[in-house]
A and B are shown apart, each in its own frame.
Chain A
Amino acid sequence: MALKISLKEYKRVDLLAVDGRIDSSTAPQLDKALQKIIDAGRFRIVVDLSDAAFMSSAGLRALLSALKQVRRFNRGDLRLAGVSPKVKKAFELAGLLVVFQVFDNSVDAVGSF
């Protein structure tokens, strides 16, 4: 099943909301959406995972790849919002909770920039 991805462009931040399962089938969609933002020269990104039902290592790879790109030259950051306990476990296992800044909701995450 395809991932539903919606993008809101704020003046300083792009908010990407993801709805569905993020696995090896759908992670390329997430990767593409993040890459499009980065290619447009926008490096402050919030990924809202409130409606992400599942996260596999393929999803983590897409987020980690984008994070590395936006943090290059201190030009930006990728921050996460609305991470459910189920999705959080994947980040914990991979040791990525110390790498990403995580916020309870997208308003706080957008406001943090």
Chain B
Amino acid sequence: MSQKYSLSVSSQFERLAEIADFVADAACACGLNEDQVCDAQMAVDEACTNVIEHAYRGKPDGTIHIVCERRGKEFLVTIQDFGARFDPNKVQPPKTGDPLSKRRIGGLGLFFMRKLMDRVEFDFSSGPGNRLTMAKKIKR
């Protein structure tokens, strides 16, 4: 059975650095290379920022539960919150090819998560809040 690494933090931006350190340690232990560790850190940072901003709407007393594990040839990160439901289909992807005058400021978080990870899945069937699973194939 694979080892799981878990962290529970309050829904505050000030906790993002701690989350990044936790993800780096877990991703290294699960066998991701340096570039992949950075990708996972960035994706989790964006995901947790979305949780704080959208699921908890800036309220600092929510809980974010993060679990990292290696499953087969994949590194899995699961992020559970207990805030408002987040519908990823309502998020318009940013137009990254547009000239500066037309660039929308924002909307990059989910786009980054999808670019940086191999799989991004939201699951709303397991109780309140949002459960996000992101996977990255482990390359040596």
- A90 contact from B14, B42, B53, B103, Cβ within 8 A: B42
Contact A24 B13 (CB under 8 A): yes
How many chain A residues sit at the interface, stated as a range, is: 20 to 34
Contact B115 A93 (CB under 8 A): yes
- A61 contact from B17, B105, B112, B115, Cβ within 8 A: B105
Complex formed: what's the CA distance from A57 to B49 in Å?
10
Contact B45 A56 (CB under 8 A): yes
Given contacts A24-B16, A25-B14, contact A54 B41 (CB under 8 A): yes
Contact A99 B105 (CB under 8 A): no
Q: Which residues of A are found within 8 Å of B17, using beta-carbon distances?
A: 1, 21, 23, 25
Complex formed: what's the CA distance from A68 to B102 in Å?
10
Residues of A that sit less than 8 Å from B by CB = 1, 21, 23-25, 54, 56-58, 60-61, 64-65, 67-68, 71, 86, 89-90, 93-96, 99
Majority secondary structure, A binding face: helix
Q: Which residues of A are found within 8 Å of B13, using beta-carbon distances?
A: 23-25
Complex formed: what's the CA distance from A61 to B105 in Å?
6
Binds A, one of B71-79, B81-89, B92-100, B118-126: B92-100
A83 to chain B, nearest CB (A): 14
Name the 7 nearest CB pairs between A and B, nearest first: A95-B96, A25-B13, A57-B108, A24-B13, A24-B49, A23-B16, A56-B45
